[in-house]
Amino acid sequence: MGRTSATRRTDGEQGVVILFAKPAYASNHDRINGIYAAAIERGWQILQMPEVPSRRTVAAFVRMWRPLGCIVEQSAMPRKIVPSMFGDTPVVLTGRGDRDASWFDGRFDCSFQNVRDPVEHAVKELVSLNPASFAYVDDPAHPVWGVERGRIFADVLPAGAAFAAYGGPSPMCANGHRALAEWLKHRPLPCACLLAADHIAPAFYTAARSAGLRVGTDLPVIGFDNDKHVCLSLSPRLSSVKIDFFRSGVDAVRLLERRLADRDAPPRIARYNALGVERRASTLRNFADRRVRKGMSVVEDRACAGLAVGEVAAAMGCCVRLAEKLFRRHADVSILEAIRRVRIEKAMSLLRNRYIAIDAIPFRCGYARSPACLKTHFKKATGLTMREWRKRHVAPDG
Residue 372's region, left for phi above 0, alpha for psi from -120 to 50, else beta, is alpha
Per-residue pLDDT tens digits for 80-125: 677 788 889 999 998 766 554 445 556 789 999 898 999 999 999 9
Domain 287-390 -> CATH class:
mainly alpha
pLDDT confidence band for 397 (50 / 70 / 90): low
* CA–CA–CA angle 50, 30, 170 (5° rounding): 75
Q: How many CB atoms lie within 10 A of CB 99?
A: 15
Once rounded to an integer, what is the mean pLDDT over residues 291-306? 88
**pLDDT bracket for residue 362 (50, 70, 90):** very high
Asked if 331 contacts 371 with a C-beta cutoff of 8 angstroms, the reply is no
Kindly state which CATH superfamily the domain 116-243 is placed in: Response regulator (3.40.50.2300)
Predicted local distance difference test score (pLDDT) of residue 354: 81
159-162, Cβ contacts within 8 angstroms, sequence gap of 24 or more: 161/133, 161/134, 162/132, 162/133, 162/134, 162/188
Residue 173 CA to chain centroid, in angstroms? 25
**Rounded distance, CA 175 to CA 204, Å?**
13
Q: Which of 276, 225, 235, 288 is nearest to 28 (CA)?
A: 225
Mean of the per-residue pLDDT values of the chain: 87
Q: How confident is the model at residue 6, as a pLDDT?
A: 37
Domain extent listing, the chain: 5-114+244-275, 116-243, 287-390
Q: 239-243 and 91-95: which strand pairing?
A: unpaired
**Are 260 and 90 contacting, i.e. CB atoms less than 8 angstroms apart?**
yes
Q: What is the mean pLDDT of residues 22-29?
A: 74
Helix, strand or coil, per DSSP, at residue 286: coil
Which tops the pLDDT comparison, 396 or 390?
390
If one compares 76 and 211, the residue with the highest pLDDT of the two is 211
| Domain 5-114+244-275, CATH | 3.40.50.2300
pTM score of the predicted model: 0.80
Higher pLDDT pick, 139 / 262: 262
Same fold? 5-114+244-275, 287-390:
no
**Looking at residues 26-47, what average pLDDT do you find?**
90
Given a contact cutoff of 8 angstroms between Cβ atoms, the answer to whether 262 and 2 are in contact is yes
Percent of the chain with pLDDT over 90: 57
Beta-sheet strands, E only, within 162-220? 163-165, 191-195
Which of the two residues, 343 and 301, has the higher pLDDT score? 343
pLDDT at 58 over 80: yes
Tell me what pLDDT residue 49 has.
85
